[in-house]
Amino acid sequence: MKKLKYIILGCTLIVAVTSCKKWMDVNVDPDNPNNQSVLIENRLPWIQHFYMYSAGVTNFRTACQAGVYYAIAAAQNTFSTTWQASNANSTTPYQTWFVATSSNVEDMYNTAKKQGAYHYMAAADVFHALGYMQMLDLYGEMPYKEAATGNPSPKPDNGKTIYYGCMAKLNEAIALFSKAQEAGAPGLAAGDMINKGNVDKWIKLCWGLKARYMLKLSKKSDLYNPDSILICLSKGPQSIADNVVEPGLNNSTVTDYLIGDPVVTNGNFNYAGYGNNQRISQFYYNLLVNMRGSNVVDPRMTKIVPAAMSNVKLDGNGKVQSFTWNRSVGVDSYGPATRLIKAGSPTSIVTPTYAATTTTIKYTITNATDRADFIAAIAAKNKTYTVSGNDVTVTYPAGSMYVNSTNYVFAGDTTYVSMRSNSIATSGIAAQPQTDVNWYVNATAYAAGVVGSTGSFQIHPVSDFEILTYHEMCFIEAEVYMRKNDPGKAYAAYRRGVEAHLNWMQSKLTEWQGTYGTTNPDMRPMSATDIATYLGSPALANAGNITMQDIMLQKYVAMGCSIENWNDMRRFNFSAGNVGTFGTIYPGYDRGPLFTGTAQLTGSGKTDPRYWMRRWALPPVYEIQYNSINTLALNPHAGDPNIWSMPVWWDCATDAEYQGYLK
């Protein structure tokens, strides 16, 4: 494990980035930087940036595991579809935390301590807790006490040690934020991109994180303390004004000098919304259009599920004259998965291209039933076609989005719209302004005005990166009261959670509408009537019939691209239905027909813990190859193929159960 002391030098690269201007003067001597010369107010924004990057890739990949997204890319497809979990997923969160972030957290803390800058010490504590708890959630055991010390072969610590170490850091942070800084210490606002120096919001963040982390212990009868969680919630965020987020921007073409992604964009965008590999899953989609079997469309659906232009007609100048929106449907990985099975590949969804001129494609379909179904499908879309024996020739007019393949199975993949948005650093289209974050297939499509995807609320480049939100606090409160057998209070908190998320989205959409909403209808506010109708519909439980499933599925929708959904699913054993008397919490989530992960997930049935993905394998080079003696001394199974199904410490009911896995 290598310490990287000079990561802050990257700030000198972003001369064009207005938002970082005040942090340009990074070192006392910019020509001879050293660890002691970095100002703490210049180090903090880069800690915040690289934590967001590490958390962003974690959020995206665990969202694939939790069924939020389907991925074409082979590595992430093992999470979303085959469950043949791949080590190719393991390294980036680890690398961006340890190499780019944690050593700087340690150094900022020590430097701030010398200056009496207690609020910077506290901020370091918060990011220590955020980062190491994420490592625990992912990997179970991890170098902790000896991490960021310069030791190239640090010993790992068990999950319990990491957990309580992080909680101690949050307690210290609360105390430090409550102290007045020493005279001459830099003010927190000078380096704080997240809370702009608002100490009250930082303290609420600490209490909210404590509530989130204490909830992880829900399986542990000796440690789970609902009343302590409620106390933490009472001191945490109390409204959407207390949401702690890092703003995403689209005002720079500068890319990160270590990773190559845009410097100023949302961390979730950099993975989930950057390329063409992601689609909405049917599991997530169904919750947005049929929660509780209501057949009620959630007003958030059109902001979360992307759309592309369809039925385009161009005018005499080659510009869009008329069109309809093709709202994506979800890719089915858990059910029959007909489309994926028909193509013979779990990664077979194809990204459409743009017909600059009228294009014809001949599909040879020898199976009569398949041919009839195909003809019916294109006729329903008012496509022009001819039939000759087994051949069906379809005409795609100029302006169409179509799949450039003669395989008829792929022709309907325009139904699955990419989650992609564009930043000016990634579009490749020089004329596309920063106020337009739609994705266009190419410059020709952009010139015509044909949108390939409107993107998704949480993963636009300009989306806020959510660190802690009021709606999450409400759903935690609802769960706690449900566990306390107080459905009345659970219902009240559940309603507040749904309304808080709707209000949070609406506030952001209102902010966006005059800038990004001019080109992207999915970035305009929701209809107030639609919101009111939804809140009064059977898509929501009432006080007399609320269940834990209701609470957790609404939380799932609201959290979206977040590791917390996967954390919650582990706490409730996914769809096993064997936690307390709560029944099945995530119905329909299960191994699908494309499952191939028999070596990774060795449990014999849904109530067997090892039936599910419960952790990630450690990065095979860093901790298995180079640090194997220490790693295997703590967990001799760390390199086993089925490490992916081994529960982490907080996912076990007792310490004895956890230790049993480590033998």
332 and 194, same domain (yes or no)? no
pTM score of the predicted model:
0.94
As a whole-number percent, the residues of the chain with pLDDT over 70 amount to: 95
244 and 393, same domain (yes or no)? no
Residue 450: name the closest of 318, 303, 273 by CA. Answer: 318
Cβ–Cβ under 8 Å, residues 23 and 11: yes
pLDDT reported for residue 214: 98
Whether pLDDT at 27 is above 60: no
Here the contacts of 214-223 (C-beta below 8 Å, separation 24 or greater) are: 215/476, 215/479, 215/480, 215/571, 216/163, 216/567, 216/571, 216/650, 217/650, 218/479, 218/483, 218/571, 219/571, 219/579, 219/650, 219/651, 219/652, 219/653, 220/650, 220/652, 220/653, 220/654, 221/653, 222/654
User: 640 lies in a domain?
Assistant: no
Question: What CATH number did the domain enclosing 146 receive?
Answer: 1.25.40.390
Cβ–Cβ under 8 Å, residues 573 and 538: no
Contacts of 68 (CB under 8 A, 6+ apart): 280, 281, 283, 284, 560, 561, 565
- Burial label for 15, CB within 10 Å (0-12, 13-18, 19+), is exposed
Number of Cβ atoms within 10 Å of the Cβ of 371: 19
46 and 190, same domain (yes or no)? yes
Place of tokens 């935390």: 97
311 and 257, same domain (yes or no)? no
In the DSSP assignment, the letter for residue 196 is T
User: 377 lies in a domain?
Assistant: yes
pLDDT tens, position by position, 330-356: 999 999 999 999 998 999 999 999 999
User: 491 lies in a domain?
Assistant: no
User: 645 lies in a domain?
Assistant: no
Confidence band (pLDDT; 50, 70, 90) for 33? low
Could you tell me which residue, 204 or 260, shows the higher pLDDT? 204
Amino acid at 150: G
310 and 428, same domain (yes or no)? yes
Q: Which residues of 515-552 are buried (b: 16+ CB within 10 A; e: fewer)?
A: bbbebbebbbbbeeebbeebeeeebbbeeeebbbbbbb
> How many residues does this entry show for the chain?
663
Whether pLDDT at 480 is above 80: yes
pLDDT tens, position by position, 599-611: 999 999 999 999 9
Whether pLDDT at 162 is above 60: yes
Confidence band (pLDDT; 50, 70, 90) for 324? very high
Element (H, E) at 49: helix 40-65
Average confidence (pLDDT) over 87-103? 93
pLDDT reported for residue 542: 96
251 and 153, same domain (yes or no)? yes
Confidence band (pLDDT; 50, 70, 90) for 428? very high
pLDDT reported for residue 80: 97
Average confidence (pLDDT) over 254-258? 83
Contacts of 234 (CB under 8 A, 6+ apart): none
Question: What is the distance of C-alpha 591 from the center of its chain?
Answer: 21
Average pLDDT, rounded, for the chain: 93
107 and 225, same domain (yes or no)? yes
pLDDT reported for residue 429: 96
Rounded CA gap, 122 and 204, in Å?
Answer: 13
User: 550 lies in a domain?
Assistant: no
Average confidence (pLDDT) over 305-313? 97
pLDDT reported for residue 31: 57
Number of Cβ atoms within 10 Å of the Cβ of 579: 16
pLDDT tens, position by position, 37-75: 789 999 999 999 999 999 999 999 999 999 999 999 999
pLDDT tens, position by position, 10-23: 332 232 233 333 33
416 and 321, same domain (yes or no)? yes
User: 280 lies in a domain?
Assistant: no
121 and 217, same domain (yes or no)? yes
Q: Which of 416, 433, 455 is the last residue of a domain?
A: 455
**By residue range, what is the domain housing residue 401?**
306-455
Confidence band (pLDDT; 50, 70, 90) for 34? low
Average confidence (pLDDT) over 154-182? 97
Question: How many structural domains does the chain have?
Answer: 2
**Dihedral over Cα of 133, 134, 139, 145: its sign:** negative
pLDDT reported for residue 7: 36
Average confidence (pLDDT) over 194-214? 98
Q: Which of 455, 470, 489 is the last residue of a domain?
A: 455
User: 573 lies in a domain?
Assistant: no
Whether pLDDT at 8 is above 50: no
Strand partners, 589: none
Confidence band (pLDDT; 50, 70, 90) for 4? very low
User: 229 lies in a domain?
Assistant: yes
Q: Which of 263, 285, 319 is the last residue of a domain?
A: 263
User: Helix 199-215 to helix 470-483 angle, to the nearest 10 degrees?
Assistant: 40
pLDDT tens, position by position, 350-393: 999 999 999 999 999 999 999 999 999 999 988 999 999 999 99
DSSP of 551-598, one letter per residue? HHHHHHHHH-SSHHHHHHHHHTTTTT--STT---SSTT-S--TT---T
310 and 401, same domain (yes or no)? yes
Contacts of 544 (CB under 8 A, 6+ apart): none
Whether pLDDT at 86 is above 60: yes
Average confidence (pLDDT) over 554-573? 98
Q: Which residues of 149-172 are buried (b: 16+ CB within 10 A; e: fewer)?
A: eeeeebbbbbbbbbbebbbebbeb
pLDDT reported for residue 620: 87
Cβ–Cβ under 8 Å, residues 651 and 642: no
Q: Is 644 left (phi over 0), alpha (psi -120 to 50) or beta?
A: alpha
207 and 318, same domain (yes or no)? no
Tell me the backbone φ, ψ of residue 466, rounded to 5 degrees: -85, 115
349 and 246, same domain (yes or no)? no
HSE of 20 in the Cβ direction (CA atoms, 13 Å)? Answer: 29
Whether pLDDT at 217 is above 90: yes
